[in-house]
Amino acid sequence: MNTLAYFPRLVAPLVLCLGLGISSGDVSAQKTYRWVDEQGQVHYTDQPPPSTAKKTEVKNYNPGGADNTPGFAVRKAAENFPVVLYSSNDCGDLCASARDLLKKRGIPFSERKISTQEDFAAYREQFGTPEEVPAVTIGRLTRKGFESESWNRMLDDAGYPSMAIPGPATPPAPTTPAPAAAPAPPAAQ
């Protein structure tokens, strides 16, 4: 048998197995060990240290590491362009769709329910008339009515990622009531 003809059939499965082993190693490397040997040298490994190790620390990491935490882009956009959703008790499916869009993108937001005359006055000051919910402010930008394409474009322009980062969910900002109207000055006598 010609060994050169047999060589590709032998090497191809070996290369495939090595490739799979390397790529799966990244996913399974979830622990890092820090340990000190007898001479006082510090070692970092992905394998458990020998029994002669003087001090051992184990760190558990999720596959993907830092990519699983809310990113800098979200924090920076939320700082510069906070998102406030305006809704009402009878808004229904449109407000639910607006909420779902923000949650799907992992965007922290607060929600203001419009229900009192003071709420309506604050809304008119922000958006003008007629009153239409859902409405959103993204920083100083405002939009009345829900239209996913325009909301997504505004969020993109503000620097929010186009989809939620996998991992722990970013809790939404607490719901805050609409600012109350300023009290009327006392009547002059």
- Tens-digit pLDDT profile for residues 40-85: 887 777 788 888 887 776 665 444 444 444 578 888 999 999 999 9
Confidence of residue 29 (pLDDT cuts 50, 70, 90): very low
Q: Name the more confident of 19 and 81.
A: 81
Q: For residues 159 and 75, what is the distance between their CA atoms, to the nearest angstrom?
A: 10
Q: For residues 185 and 125, what is the distance between their CA atoms, to the nearest angstrom?
A: 19
Q: For residues 16 and 56, what is the distance between their CA atoms, to the nearest angstrom?
A: 35
**Cβ(172)–Cβ(109) below 8 Å:** yes
- DSSP 8-state symbol, 91: -
Confidence of residue 5 (pLDDT cuts 50, 70, 90): low
Radius of gyration of the chain, Cα coordinates, nearest whole angstrom: 28
Look at the pTM and tell me if it is higher than 0.75: no
